Structure 1
Amino acid sequence: MKIAIVGASGYTGVELLRVLQLYPDIEINQIISRQYTGKKLKEIFPHFSSSKLKDLIFSEETDIEASDFYFLCLPHEPSVELVKKLLEKNKKVVDLSAAYRIKNPAAYPEYYEFEHKYPDILLKAAYGLPEIYREQIRQADIVANPGCYPTATLLALYPAVKEKVIAENNVVVNALSGISGAGRGLKQQFHYPEAFGNAYAYSPIKHRHIPEMEDVLKNIYGDSITVRFTPHILPVSRGMTSTVIYKTNLSKQQLVELYRLEYRYEPFIRFCDTPPQIKNVIGSNYCDIYVDKDEKTGQAVVITAIDNLGKGASTQAVQNFNLMTGRDEEYILKNLSDTSILFP
């Protein structure tokens, strides 16, 4: 099987290369980056110098005929068009942008400032969160890989939403992410002197991930659930944590039992007796979960930790790849080492 990574020089593209190089039965035959066209992988990322991929050369344009499977690590609007072209050629695609995550096309002009031209493909795209949509992913030609914040948040909510134990149809989410979530583009607030020793909230009222989360929750619940979401930046390279609060009539013990029962067969969900730490998930595809209840307020407190470049992006994309190609879902990912991480 021949694999293409489009946008291969960004954080998520490099993370895909780190993981996919471990597969003995695939060939990565296209890495696309206009910024580094004509350069060898090892020239730009020296930590690949001993990898079998070291002499791969970055191409400027994507050949939509040359590969069997395409990972797209592009901005949203270019992905919209490229996905359509690839599907017309009967290719399988995991898209790591937001181009096909939200089923309602009206959300795109409001939150992403462009009109979505292909609502038919929106309906066909499987949302790439295996813990919820595993069977749809297995059958899909196009999988919309979730955002990092929605992954951490939806995994914290899914059992409660599925079993309808949220007493009011709204949840409060406070999430914190490493700086790599903003991508490799240069922005002043992410320069080292600005970011070191600093932390701050951003987009506290109308963040782009809100319609994505609310869309999935409505699909599960059958009714609208309002998400009060506030994201924050942490002065770390990677990793994120999401604290989710909602009213419930269940006791703490009932909540814990509900979550453990729902996720009992999930290979990448780990339960913690204390609030999870991002250091324990860096470089992995795991989501660590802590479930508790504040009896004074009647509110559940569910905290998750993931690697925003891992389960929040690239390793989850590989998990979806495994499902889409008939592999064991845990293949390579279960024992993934973090020793070759480029951005620790």
Structure 2
Amino acid sequence: MIKVGIVGGTGYTGVELLRLLVLHPEVTLQVITSRADAGTRVDQMFPSLRGLVDLLFVHPDEAHLEQCDAVFFATPNGIAMQQTRALLEAGVRVIDLAADFRLQDIASWEAWYGMTHACPDLVAEAVYGLPEVNREQIKTARLIANPGCYPTAVQLGFFPLLEAGVIEAGSLIADAKSGVSGAGRKAEIPALFAEAGDNFKAYGVAGHRHLPEIKQGLARVSGNGVGLTFVPHLTPLIRGIHATLYGKLTRDVDLQALFEARYADEPFVDVMPAGSHPETRSVRGSNRCRIAVHRPQGGDTVVVLSVIDNLVKGAAGQAVQNLNIMFDFPEAMALNIVPLLP
């Protein structure tokens, strides 16, 4: 058994971590922090956890996180980097679900996130926690940069094509849609039901924080830089991301066979039969990414459809997947969840 702490347990990602970890047979929840709700019972805030979590939220200053074996940061950007060094020195392994350690280019990170990085030397050590490409590095990592939700869906869809060198890397397009929970559990007008319901809109067309993360990951597998147009959209869904990806083929290839071979041994990537159209509801509540690949009219454009639950494979589920790899547990432990339907 390992002792686990969660910093920032009151957001959607934090409660999703709790939902998964309470059923993990190798995890003891040691501490869950919250500045605003310290002293409140966790199951009072989240009645779904009644009978499963018997803890109070603790103020971060009183959490004694150094007594944990692993700590998840389910916090806004800029929090984990303030505490990670001390935890690593205490022998704690850290999984950050925010963006503090995702970008290797510090200047780019500071420009996109509007703050000075507190520990740039640790960024080079951080392992990008996408198991489908970094499983071996994750096994021995002390510090994991858990990928963003859009980057997970987009990268998994493009990887087989770029690795095989069968598309033009300079003209990629990612048209992605997300549910409102991707914005977090906070009071903001765009996330109000009357604003987001019965509506559909693009945002961040001029530039989105996930763009450099996606380009960094795609460039690593392609061996060169990539050109990517990334346009996110907000949909009137609670959960889910649907990424429609476009690329120009450079040679003829059996796309279905390519994708099936690439992900044959991946427990959480499901390549669907030829002609399929995966739906967000088919992954709701699960850690699975479902992918379908198309070649419309047999032309030179490839279209990849990639769907995930933004709170699970796009955040908390992937973080638990990383935990399992780091501590040599079965990778699917606590994650073999059948998606919810309806």
TM-score (norm 2): 0.95
Equivalence for 2:177: 176
What is the percent sequence identity of the aligned residues? 38
For residue 157 of structure 2, what is the amino acid of its counterpart? A
Q: Judge conservation of contact 2:242–2:280 (CA < 8 Å) in 1.
A: yes
Say whether 1:165 aligns with 2:166: yes
Say whether 1:257 aligns with 2:260: no
Equivalence for 2:322: 320
- Secondary structure class of the residue paired with 1:329: coil
Q: Judge conservation of contact 2:162–2:169 (CA < 8 Å) in 1.
A: no
What are the within-5 Å matches in structure 2 for residues 5-84 of structure 1? 5-51=6-52, 53=53, 55-61=54-60, 62-84=63-85
Equivalence for 1:153: 154
Task: Compute the displacement of 1:295 (Å).
Answer: 4.5
In the aligned structure 2, how far is the partner of 1:137 from the partner of 1:165?
28
Equivalence for 2:245: 244
For residue 22 of structure 2, what is the amino acid of its counterpart? Q
Consecutive unaligned residues of structure 1, counting only runs of 5 or more, are none
1:329 aligned residue (328, 331, 334): 331
Q: Judge conservation of contact 1:173–1:244 (CA < 8 Å) in 2.
A: yes
Task: Compute the displacement of 1:69 (Å).
Answer: 0.6
More divergent stretch after superposition (160-169 vs 206-215): 160-169
For residue 259 of structure 1, what is the amino acid of its counterpart? F
Equivalence for 2:266: 266
In the aligned structure 1, how far is the partner of 2:37 from the partner of 2:251?
54
For residue 11 of structure 2, what is the amino acid of its counterpart? G
Equivalence for 1:311: 313
Task: Compute the displacement of 1:168 (Å).
Answer: 4.3
For residue 260 of structure 1, what is the amino acid of its counterpart? E
Task: Compute the displacement of 1:222 (Å).
Answer: 1.7
- Secondary structure class of the residue paired with 2:312: coil
Equivalence for 2:228: 227
Say whether 1:283 aligns with 2:297: no
Residue by residue over 1:144-189, the C-alpha shift from the partner in whole angstroms, topping out at 9 and shown as x without a partner, is 0000000000000111111211124221000000100000111111
Say whether 1:300 aligns with 2:299: no
Q: Judge conservation of contact 1:269–1:286 (CA < 8 Å) in 2.
A: yes
Residue by residue over 1:319-339, the C-alpha shift from the partner in whole angstroms, topping out at 9 and shown as x without a partner, is 0000000111111212x2457
More divergent stretch after superposition (13-22 vs 24-33): 24-33
In the aligned structure 1, how far is the partner of 2:201 from the partner of 2:232?
9
More divergent stretch after superposition (79-88 vs 122-131): 79-88
TM-score (norm 1): 0.94
Task: Compute the displacement of 1:293 (Å).
Answer: 1.2
In the aligned structure 2, how far is the partner of 1:164 from the partner of 1:90?
41
- Secondary structure class of the residue paired with 2:79: helix
Runs of 4+ in 1 over 4 A off after TM superposition: none
CA shift in 2, pair 1:35/1:338, >3 Å: farther
In the aligned structure 2, how far is the partner of 1:183 from the partner of 1:250?
42
In the aligned structure 2, how far is the partner of 1:117 from the partner of 1:45?
33
In the aligned structure 2, how far is the partner of 1:299 from the partner of 1:158?
16
In the aligned structure 2, how far is the partner of 1:203 from the partner of 1:166?
26
In the aligned structure 1, how far is the partner of 2:118 from the partner of 2:299?
45
Task: Compute the displacement of 1:116 (Å).
Answer: 2.0
- Secondary structure class of the residue paired with 1:77: coil
Task: Compute the displacement of 1:297 (Å).
Answer: 5.2
Q: Judge conservation of contact 2:169–2:225 (CA < 8 Å) in 1.
A: no
In the aligned structure 1, how far is the partner of 2:164 from the partner of 2:19?
38
Residue by residue over 1:287-313, the C-alpha shift from the partner in whole angstroms, topping out at 9 and shown as x without a partner, is 000001134751110010000001000
Q: Judge conservation of contact 1:95–1:144 (CA < 8 Å) in 2.
A: yes
Say whether 1:92 aligns with 2:93: yes
Residue by residue over 1:54-97, the C-alpha shift from the partner in whole angstroms, topping out at 9 and shown as x without a partner, is x2000011423221110001111111111222112121011000
Q: Judge conservation of contact 1:64–1:89 (CA < 8 Å) in 2.
A: no
